[in-house]
């Protein structure tokens, strides 16, 4: 890839035909709408597919995409550590769709909720549970305090432990056949 390590949505749209797009969001997020031609490799599976990504990068430029650009920037750093050049999409799919660029959604799929919505539901449920149970058992209030502390830590570090845990749920995991098809497309 050239010196550019980040592309805006408009720059990526102009070069989409020559880029291999890797979407590092969960399969549920990917199913909710992705860049045309994007391959889904969740961030937590990135290290297992490095040889395929190296092969794809040898053939052409890689563009790594996520919802906001944070996970794709993290993926680009991990790839750079392995001498695999890649660019990130500035602002992620959020910026892409806000600018009116085309997104694709697999036919006949029902997309799970976006990860941030899943996190809000889980965090809210845990806080409410801690508060209600705290009416009877004072120690249960620590559950609410723990979730609140986790959310503050998440905001300060721009990471989310709860999202990492939720990403491991079955509806957020890629089917083995999907990942195998992706690897075949990248190496073939």
Exactly one of 7, 43, 66, 84 is catalytic; which is it? 66
Q: How far is residue 19 from each of residues 31, 67, 89, 148, 154, measured CA to CA in Å?
A: 20, 18, 12, 41, 32
Q: Which residue has the higher pLDDT, 98 or 174?
A: 98
Catalytic site includes residue 66: yes
Q: How far is residue 158 from each of residues 64, 70, 82, 153, 169, measured CA to CA in Å?
A: 18, 8, 23, 8, 21
Q: What is the pLDDT of residues 58-104, one digit of tens each?
A: 999 999 999 999 899 999 999 999 999 999 999 999 999 999 998 98
């Amino acid at each position: 890839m050239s010196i550019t390590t980040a592309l805006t949505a408009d720059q990526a749209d102009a070069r989409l035909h020559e880029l291999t797009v890797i979407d590092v969001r969960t399969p549920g997020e990917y199913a909710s709408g992705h860049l045309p031609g994007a391959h889904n490799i969740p961030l937590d599976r990135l290290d297992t597919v490095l040889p395929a990504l190296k092969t794809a990068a040898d053939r052409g430029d890689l563009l790594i995409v996520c919802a906001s650009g944070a996970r794709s920037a993290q993926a680009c750093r991990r790839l750079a550590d392995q001498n695999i050049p890649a660019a990130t999409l500035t602002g992620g799919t959020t910026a892409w769709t806000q600018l009116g660029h085309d997104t694709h959604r697999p036919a006949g799929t029902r997309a799970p909720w976006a990860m941030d919505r899943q996190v809000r539901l889980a965090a809210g449920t845990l806080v409410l549970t801690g508060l209600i149970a705290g009416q009877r058992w004072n120690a249960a209030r620590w559950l609410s305090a723990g979730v609140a502390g986790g959310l503050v830590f998440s905001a300060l570090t721009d990471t989310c432990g709860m999202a990492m845990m939720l990403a491991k749920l079955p509806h957020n995991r890629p089917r083995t056949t999907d990942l195998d098809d992706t690897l075949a497309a990248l190496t073939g």
